[in-house]
Structure 1
Amino acid sequence: MDKTNLDDYLANLGISEGDEAPNVVEAALGAAAPGGEALSPLVVFEQFMQGVVEHLGRDLTLSVRDTGEALEAEIGGERAGKLAGREGRTLAAIEVLAYAVLAKHAGRSDVRVRVDAGGFKRRQADNLGKLAERLALQVAKSGEAHELQPMPPAERRVIHVALKDHALVTTESVGEGAGRHLVIRPRTGDPR
């Protein structure tokens, strides 16, 4: 989108270039910990997600937890499923923002976060697990490797985990960047 189109779009929304942008993150987090100390990742994540949910609508609910492996947020409510966006892109964008907020306000960039809305990611993971099993059987039967289409890291991970202990196949991520994809291969040598 060029600057002219962006200006027109913003003008239609009643926003001019001189308007001050609302800082949702700062409003959600409030003041930092006393003495400039970093806040705990769970506190930062929960406050950030509460701010996001408040700006999205009153009829939404939020549940946040630390699984030990990741910080997870589940947005619930009647309209929650629509928040996922096309192919989960809105949830992915919220996760990217959450990483940035954690890095800035908790001093942590190594914390894994997962945001789901209306069970979208849970259903997606179930479907990917079923796909992985079907493809594993095909690969085992044919003896030929199968390359999947490029997919985001979280989706590749679901398939890796689903097949990690499979006796007949192995998985490998190949490629770089947006072209990174999974290959399911017949297991050679001593099966597990």
Structure 2
Amino acid sequence: MKQWTATGPTVDEAIQTALEQLRTSRDQVDVEVIDEGKKGFLGFGTKPAIVKVSIKKNPVQDVETFIHEVAEQMGAPVQVKTELRQRDIYMELEGEKIAMLIGKRGQTLNSLQYLAQLVVNRESDVFYTVMLDAEGYRDRRKETLKNLAQRLAEKAVRSNQAVKLEPMPSYERKIIHSALQNNRNVETESAGNDPRRHVVIRPQ
């Protein structure tokens, strides 16, 4: 139950009735006053107040529930540590079968992150960015990409030909661009359309 419409002699009493039905507190809900009601005179013309009380959307709770459900269905249950920094949601996953959720080159983790972001933003008036990690995989992947960028830059210079990398999500492409931004021997650009967008390294 996420919302309740209630009536009462006053707006406050109608709200209290709704809170009891929703089993929550005033700070956890949004209130829409449909009718403020009317006291009347000597019992005549009395009109009850009507309010619609809705439980506030909790983006962190929604996305955690989604991750738990997907992990269970994959046979790889996890513990989730979540940190909300303004509009960024950082999630760290831990579990005995975490490799299943990471997948080859992080593809499963990337897909899960994309879906989690859809879930958290589907009914939200504010856009949230979800960053999903699994037992420090992102940091290890970052170092791998930096090393890959340097090796392929050398290859591009040595062969005097452009080198095309595999498709990557935007934040991984940024790692490649950043790793080579001070290399005067090459230039980088992103090409193609998602989900096949990739980095191209060209010799200068």
Shared fold (TM-score, shorter chain, > 0.5): yes
> Between Structure 1 and Structure 2, which shows a larger proportion of helix residues?
1
Aligned partner of 2:17 in structure 1 is none
| Distance in 1, Cα, partners of 2:186 & 2:195 | 25
| Distance in 1, Cα, partners of 2:186 & 2:61 | 39
Residues 93, 150 of structure 1: alpha-carbon distance in 2 compared, 3 angstrom cutoff: closer
| Distance in 2, Cα, partners of 1:172 & 1:103 | 30
Considering only aligned residues, what root-mean-square deviation do their CA atoms show, in Å?
Answer: 3.2
Deviates more, 1:76-85 or 1:125-134: 76-85
> Between Structure 1 and Structure 2, which shows a larger proportion of strand residues?
2
Residues 86, 148 of structure 1: alpha-carbon distance in 2 compared, 3 angstrom cutoff: closer
Are residues 1:100 and 2:118 paired?
yes
Q: How many residues align?
A: 152
Aligned partner of 2:83 in structure 1 is 65
1:116 aligns to what SS in structure 2?
A: strand
Structure 1's consecutive aligned runs of 4 or more residues displaced over 6 angstroms after TM superposition are none
TM-score, normalised relative to structure 1: 0.61
Is 1:38–1:106's contact at 8 Å kept on the other side of the alignment?
no
Residues 78, 103 of structure 1: alpha-carbon distance in 2 compared, 3 angstrom cutoff: same
Q: Indicate the structure (1 or 2) with the bigger Cα radius of gyration.
A: 2
Structure with larger RCO (C-alpha < 8 A, sep 6+): 1
Which of 134, 150, 159 is the aligned partner of 2:176?
Answer: 159
Which of 101, 112, 116 is the aligned partner of 2:129?
Answer: 112
| Unaligned stretches of 5+ residues in structure 2 | 1-27, 32-53
| Unaligned stretches of 5+ residues in structure 1 | 1-31, 188-192
Is 2:82–2:92's contact at 8 Å kept on the other side of the alignment?
yes
